[in-house]
Amino acid sequence: RVGPRGEDQDLLLAAAYVSDAQYNRNVPFETSPQAVRLYHFYNHWTMRAATYFFIWVDLALALFEEPALFPLPFLATSIAEVLCLTAFFGRLVHFAKVTPQMVFWKDTKNICIMVTIVLTLIDLITYGSLEAVNIHGVRWSRALRPVFLINFPESRQIRRAFRSIRNTLPDILYVFLLFIFSVLIFSLMALKLFGDRGLKTVQGSPYFTNILDIAFELYVLVTTANSPDVMMPAYEFNWWYSLYFITYIIINTYIFMSVFLAVVYNNYRKHLKNEIRTLAYLKRHKMIEAFNILKVKVGTEFVVKEAQWRQLAKVVEPDISSSHLELLLRISDEGQKGYVDKTNFLRLADLLNIQVVTINIKRHPLEAWMPRVYQSSPSLLVQKMVRHRIFVWVYDVIILINAIFIALDEKNPLISYAEWLFLSLYIIEILLKLYTYEPRAYFGRKQFWNWCSETGMLDGCVLFPARKYNSQQILDIVLILRILRLLRVIVSIQRFRVIVTTLINIGPTMLTFGGLVLVVYYVFAIIGMEVFHGKVHFFDPGSTSPDALVCGNPALKDSAFARGRYCRNNFNDLPASLILLTELTVVNQCFALLADGFALVTHQAAKLYFIGFHVVVVILIVNIFIAFILEAFFVAYSLEKSEVETAIEKKIQELGVGVQEEEVQDGKLIDNVDAKDSGFSGDDGDNKRKALKGLYFRIASKKYKTVDALLQQMFESEIAPEDEGPSLEEILNFSPSDVHPKNPSFENSA
Amino acid sequence: RVGPRGEDQDLLLAAAYVSDAQYNRNVPFETSPQAVRLYHFYNHWTMRAATYFFIWVDLALALFEEPALFPLPFLATSIAEVLCLTAFFGRLVHFAKVTPQMVFWKDTKNICIMVTIVLTLIDLITYGSLEAVNIHGVRWSRALRPVFLINFPESRQIRRAFRSIRNTLPDILYVFLLFIFSVLIFSLMALKLFGDRGLKTVQGSPYFTNILDIAFELYVLVTTANSPDVMMPAYEFNWWYSLYFITYIIINTYIFMSVFLAVVYNNYRKHLKNEIRTLAYLKRHKMIEAFNILKVKVGTEFVVKEAQWRQLAKVVEPDISSSHLELLLRISDEGQKGYVDKTNFLRLADLLNIQVVTINIKRHPLEAWMPRVYQSSPSLLVQKMVRHRIFVWVYDVIILINAIFIALDEKNPLISYAEWLFLSLYIIEILLKLYTYEPRAYFGRKQFWNWCSETGMLDGCVLFPARKYNSQQILDIVLILRILRLLRVIVSIQRFRVIVTTLINIGPTMLTFGGLVLVVYYVFAIIGMEVFHGKVHFFDPGSTSPDALVCGNPALKDSAFARGRYCRNNFNDLPASLILLTELTVVNQCFALLADGFALVTHQAAKLYFIGFHVVVVILIVNIFIAFILEAFFVAYSLEKSEVETAIEKKIQELGVGVQEEEVQDGKLIDNVDAKDSGFSGDDGDNKRKALKGLYFRIASKKYKTVDALLQQMFESEIAPEDEGPSLEEILNFSPSDVHPKNPSFENSA
């Protein structure tokens, strides 16, 4: 179907669909040629980067505004903020031109951004004019800044995490109410049991006499922050009373906190599957749209011509190398018939997503240069030695010994000399490896582990000059890098790899959580800075001022807060606030201490701020984080022994075996490199190689895929290739309960 | 097949099989008539109770031995111990007579018990003779006492939990090594980063200068116990350094601890399924054995005669009521043909396991006594009122108001009088309910919730006399009961019930964990008592002795341990040790404080004891506990909307509908009672009632089943009724990896 538009325009439209399918973007865009062109521009990486740049500038403004780490005048920060707002507005206008009017105004994301822009402007103007007449206002709109981070279409992952939280809320709420109820019942009991005993706490204040204080103490006990202090007076009075606290801890700390995790995890899992199903169907939907645009009839079936297919791939992925393109075409057009059929066309997005590493297999330069010397028997012996397992083990042992030397006293001159010895050993290792392996092959492999050990060696070269200048910062970084060398040892042990690989896979999605946590922290930090800034001051450790003992606030006299030298934990600038919030996340005695301290310098109600933070961060976000790690590991474990390969990967492998014969001979080198350095070769054939015109292709290991990608892949392999999927309406209205089978079986119930 | 034995002996043998199937016992016993009789005696409740009694006496001996809570002479405790050992030996001999020789000597359980008995005797004799010449020995064998608790066949659940731990160990070990490795790498970094800075801790000691101290501090940081104290000196020096600690916490506290949970949970789930499959097949195996013993040929098929079936049920369950037996027979012998076929016979164990509540429906005594008054319109109005929802709500509100009054100051005479008002309101409620519902029906229902509110009312009656005598202990208990009244309010809210029901279901299995925790705590407590007893003393809070400030040990001068008034946390007797270990389980600042304190009074190596405890209890047992709660909730959630009914339950329901017509009329009363009080009625028909000769039968709700029972039931419903299952050999050699599908699908993978 060649529409009224020209071929170029068709190609652009199809490319937009394919690109959306490739990156799982779900933006309903207009199909007019101009809108499609604008949409391509909208998705261009420069535009996205600019948006992120302005978002970060906007968030970073808190560093320069009162209370500031680096103070700047209000005029400067407000101009910067207005600039950011303009950029956001521009981006929004761009988006409005791309998407249909109806859809644009129905989307809460866009409304949110607009409202926030208007509110921020109002706040800026009010604050500015109040400041002009010397009245100090509150810059409340600053707490809204994360809205921009959440609501731009680029932050799909963060929004998904938020959706996850929102979906969990109703279920969590009931457990939370039950939990609060239980805390209150225990508070009542405590009041009756201990209130009239005349007991005193360690600080000499009356023990458990006020129901509100009791409820707060018991809430804190759930965080385990004041255990066993809160119990000691009653325990000293009669040891039977400790049973009350043990019961409380079992019920509220262990059982209820596990129930929170169970509820969060259950919801997380349910919604994850639903979202993945939706994504998979939407992807197929988009690929079918793209096919329908480009298809021509050949014989009885609709296909896409090879030339068009090539052009399309080039538009979607402008940087694709021609050999890579050739490989993909060979996979898509099996019979070399000059066209790609529907089933193969639908795979294009997946094909483009497969990371194919191209390795130019060449002879070692030395071999070309002086073949007789390089092929002589001593030279071959050296090469064999370097390729042997024992070579790796010897260097692992050397690294371990080096670590022990690092742990020992460095002032000892002998140890200082030993460091030179280790450095030369590492340099020898590099040289030997360069001698044995083709240099470009050695450095070209994007292997995480390789780089780890490389940096470990390089740092040595930096270390010694740096020590002369005694530049503290550089030395610190180099020292850390030196110790990272130890990571190489882990990699040589097979059993650790599954764990480490899963941990590395989690990495990218962890950034999502980073975003989520940042949003919550930022809002709490801004609120905390407005409420608590300047209440507590930090004095240099050497300071002899009497104020230093009470953190500059007489209200803290004799408090545990001041005694514990906690003055540095304050809300006086953004980094300090964020670090304080991190400490609160790691609930501990500091939780009670900090809450008490800030309540002392302001009002008892300040404790609500700390409890609120605990509920949001520890009960919700940390649990989602744990749920996410659990899920990642369960998927990793359940796939450990099975071969989950997409049809495409199988095909690449088949094609590889069928085409290339000389591979066997040259492959040996790669095999050796793999087995020794990449560390992820062998067992289940995930390092399939494909040689084409002297090039080797390797598929990035399946083990490096994220949970989402793995699950989506599994789901897609379960949809039949002819299945057109439900209609767009149906897809968008999937509900999570559809995913769960009505009659759970023994297999999937638990 | 009537064997050479008499009919009685056949019956006994079959009954042994059925009983074993009913209680999931897996003891291979001899089939000779004498052995079967002995086996019945072995399983008799008196014998089991006696065994448990001696186990508890043996464990409780630690209360009376040095260091003792209630000191007794060595002679007395050693005689008691010898008595216990004799009882254990007797039990073992009894078991040896029941089971085949080969099996007995192959079973590590029996060997364990014998070795422990011998070791304990040796220890007793050595210690006694050393004591006689006034040399103080170490009663090391006391740490072995939990062996008896674990290894008697009755403690299958605890052994299973231990097996679960053992199975998890290899996987955990690798993660643990990786974790220790990461801690060590971070320690090295810390040494290099902070060692040369000359920083001081709050106590003024040098900061991070010794690699071992650093490693300990960082290990404690994983437990979050010394956060943020450990960070403060570096943070005060430069806030960039806090990034080091934040990285550490993210990697080691959050990610690694989640990975531990993931590994434990994954193994728990895998092995749970395997065990359940094994149990289900063994059960079927035993029922088939029983059938083969009793079967006779009628027509073309083998069946069991009704009379024999009756006798068998009577032998297995001597206390079964004849109406209950009649009901079961009616289910098993559908066509009333006078015999039970194989399929129905195999269900006998499940039938006996179904809790059927018999309710004798009678008219209200008042109705029989003075029908005209009871049926008069004002009386009917009262009854209607009491049955109405609003009646329950009104009393919920009254209870809430009462709770608020309890929270208020009790010395106020007005509030004291209000208590009388509430008491009379509760008495009125009881009287009204007794007037409306048939008394036996009202009290006869074994409803947890009912009893909760009942005790709430009864306590009121105890409270006032008790106050006169001012008996502290009684008052305390009564006060707690009074507050439990509040639980009634929860029950009236539907959404809370799922959570609360699941929590209650967890109850019985929690006892398993109680046993597991007890074993571990006991061993650690005994070791702790031997090592640390008498090192720290507790002085009465009023004591003015200078020793009181340092807990009686000068080594604790100026330590945080003494400053925090932690002297009560010592190993001077068993309860104190157990409470101390509980505090350690709730890792907190106390963890570091206690470890430091006890290291001060003994040796730095004492910290290893505390780290060992943390690894065993927090990393292993608490995670298994969480895994167990997660699993329970996931099963509960996945079953929430589905109808999982065994064939038998369906049959009881069908039979109920088919037989009883008058139910509709009288059922109304039950319905009302259910809806208002039992709280678990209605929605999905789990309160099926069966009326037979004027009796009502109710199946205990499926919601009250444990995870194990639910899973077993699901698995059994998936085995075909004719399926004889694998051979005994195969069943016993099932491996957990068989359960997991080789190619995980989207549905069951995550």
Mutate to test the interface with A, among B582, B591, B635, B684 (most CBs of A within 10 A): B582
For B560-653, strand residue ranges (E) read: none
DSSP letter at A317 equals: -
> Which of B249, B633, B740 is nearest residue A266 as measured by Cβ atoms?
B633
Quick check: B212 contacting A, CB < 8 Å?
A: no
Terminal-to-terminal C-alpha distance of chain A: 50
Question: In the prediction, which pLDDT does A663 show?
Answer: 37
Q: Please state the rounded mean pLDDT for residues A605-616.
A: 83
Q: What is the mean pLDDT of chain A?
A: 76
Least confident piece of the model among A509-523, A713-727, B266-280: A713-727
Contact map slice: B 467-496 vs A, CB within 8 A: 476, 479-480, 483-484, 486-487, 490, 495-496
**Residues of B with CB below 8 A from A266's CB?**
633-634, 637
Q: Encode B392-428: b = buried (16+ Cβ within 10 Å), e = exposed.
A: beebbebbeebbebbbeeeeeeeeeebbeebbebbee
Quick check: A411 contacting B, CB < 8 Å?
A: no
C-beta separation of B40 from B15 below 8 A: yes
**Residues of A with CB below 8 A from B747's CB?**
741, 748
Question: In the prediction, which pLDDT does B79 show?
Answer: 92
What sign does the CA torsion over B226, B227, B229, B232 have?
A: positive
pLDDT range class, residue A256, cuts 50, 70, 90: confident
Helices (H), A553-644: 560-563, 574-585, 589-601, 606-613, 623-639
Residue predicted with more confidence, A233 or A702:
A233
Q: Which two tokens stand for residue A506?
A: 């989690």
Quick check: B280 contacting A, CB < 8 Å?
A: no
Residues 6+ apart with CB under 8 A from A323: A358, A692, A693, A695
Mutate to test the interface with A, among B205, B224, B277, B474 (most CBs of A within 10 A): B224
Return the bridge partners of B725, or none: none
Task: Please check the confidence at residue A676 and state whether its pLDDT lies above 50.
Answer: no
**Residues of B with CB below 8 A from A750's CB?**
269, 272-273, 631, 634-635, 638, 707, 711
C-beta separation of B482 from B459 below 8 A: yes
Angle, helices B707-718/B257-294, rounded to nearest 10 degrees: 60
Helix (H) or strand (E) holding B691: strand B689-692
Amino acid at A225: A
Contact map slice: A 27-86 vs B, CB within 8 A: none
Q: Please state the rounded mean pLDDT for residues A21-28.
A: 82
pLDDT range class, residue A706, cuts 50, 70, 90: low
Q: Which has the closest alpha carbon to B587: A580, A588, A250?
A: A588
What is the rounded distance in angstroms from the CA atom of residue A251 to the CA atom of residue A234?
A: 19
Quick check: B518 contacting A, CB < 8 Å?
A: no
C-beta separation of A13 from A2 below 8 A: no
Residues 6+ apart with CB under 8 A from B598: B532, B535, B536, B606, B609, B610
Q: Please state the rounded mean pLDDT for residues A144-162.
A: 80
What sign does the CA torsion over B724, B710, A737, A24 have?
A: negative
What is the per-residue DSSP string for A623-689?
Answer: HHHHHHHHHHHHHHHHHTTS----HHHHHHHHHHHHH-STHHHHHHHHHHHIIIII---STT----E
Q: Mean pLDDT: which of A155-164, A425-434, B112-121 is highest?
A: B112-121
Return the bridge partners of A692, or none: A695
Q: Which residue of chain B has the CA closest to A253?
A: B586
Q: Which has the closest alpha carbon to A593: A526, A536, A527, A534?
A: A536
What is the rounded distance in angstroms from the CA atom of residue A704 to the CA atom of residue A639?
A: 12
Quick check: B538 contacting A, CB < 8 Å?
A: yes
- Shortest Cα distance from B707 to chain A (angstroms)? 9
What is the rounded distance in angstroms from the CA atom of residue B312 to the CA atom of residue B7?
A: 11
Q: Which has the closest alpha carbon to A246: B478, B586, B713?
A: B586
What is the rounded distance in angstroms from the CA atom of residue A165 to the CA atom of residue A156?
A: 14
> Which of B483, B643, B745 is nearest residue A189 as measured by Cβ atoms?
B483
Quick check: A497 contacting B, CB < 8 Å?
A: no
Q: What is the pLDDT of residues B656-710, one digit of tens each?
A: 533 333 333 333 333 333 333 333 333 333 333 444 444 555 555 444 456 677 6
> Which of A236, A246, A746 is nearest residue B718 as measured by Cβ atoms?
A746
Number of neighbouring beta carbons within 10 Å of residue A374: 17
Q: What is the pLDDT of residues A78-96, one digit of tens each?
A: 999 999 999 999 999 999 9
Q: What is the pLDDT of residues A330-359, one digit of tens each?
A: 878 777 788 888 888 887 887 787 766 665
**Residues of B with CB below 8 A from A632's CB?**
262
How many CB pairs lie under 8 A apart between chains A and B? 283
What is the rounded distance in angstroms from the CA atom of residue B266 to the CA atom of residue B301?
A: 45
**Residues of B with CB below 8 A from A236's CB?**
538, 541, 565, 568
Question: In the prediction, which pLDDT does A118 show?
Answer: 94
Mutate to test the interface with B, among A402, A480, A589, A644 (most CBs of B within 10 A): A589
Q: What is the pLDDT of residues A466-483, one digit of tens each?
A: 454 455 556 566 666 666
What is the rounded distance in angstroms from the CA atom of residue A269 to the CA atom of residue A748?
A: 13
Question: In the prediction, which pLDDT does A90 show?
Answer: 93
Question: In the prediction, which pLDDT does A85 show?
Answer: 94
Q: Mean pLDDT: which of A118-122, A400-404, B411-415, B454-458 is highest?
A: A118-122
Residue predicted with more confidence, A15 or B405:
A15
Q: What is the 3-state secondary structure (H, E, C) of B182-251?
A: HHHHHHHHHHHHHCCCCCECCCCCECCCCHHHHHHHHHHHHCCCCCCCCCHHHHHHCHHHHHHHHHHHHH
Quick check: A262 contacting B, CB < 8 Å?
A: yes
**Residues of B with CB below 8 A from A254's CB?**
622, 625-626
Q: Which residue of chain B has the CA closest to A268?
A: B750
pLDDT range class, residue A2, cuts 50, 70, 90: very low
Question: In the prediction, which pLDDT does A74 show?
Answer: 87
Q: Which residue of chain B has the CA closest to A618?
A: B254
What is the rounded distance in angstroms from the CA atom of residue B592 to the CA atom of residue B561?
A: 9
* pLDDT > 70 fraction of chain A, expressed in percent and rounded: 76
Asked if B564's CB is within 8 angstroms of A202's CB, the reply is yes
Q: Which two tokens stand for residue A334?
A: 């099996």
Least confident piece of the model among A241-250, A637-646, A714-723: A637-646
Residues 6+ apart with CB under 8 A from A147: A112, A113, A116
pLDDT, averaged in runs of 10, over chain B (750 residues): 64 89 83 87 88 90 83 89 93 90 86 92 91 84 88 75 81 86 86 79 79 85 77 80 85 86 84 82 87 86 86 86 80 80 82 67 73 83 84 81 74 72 80 76 52 51 50 60 69 72 74 82 88 80 73 77 76 84 74 76 81 83 83 73 56 51 36 35 36 50 59 70 70 63 51
Residue predicted with more confidence, A707 or A41:
A41
Q: Which residue of chain B has the CA closest to A592?
A: B589
Quick check: A235 contacting B, CB < 8 Å?
A: yes
- Shortest Cα distance from B453 to chain A (angstroms)? 15
DSSP letter at A337 equals: -
Q: Which has the closest alpha carbon to B290: B27, B666, B1?
A: B1
Residue identified by tokens 């039968």 is B697
pTM for this predicted structure: 0.79
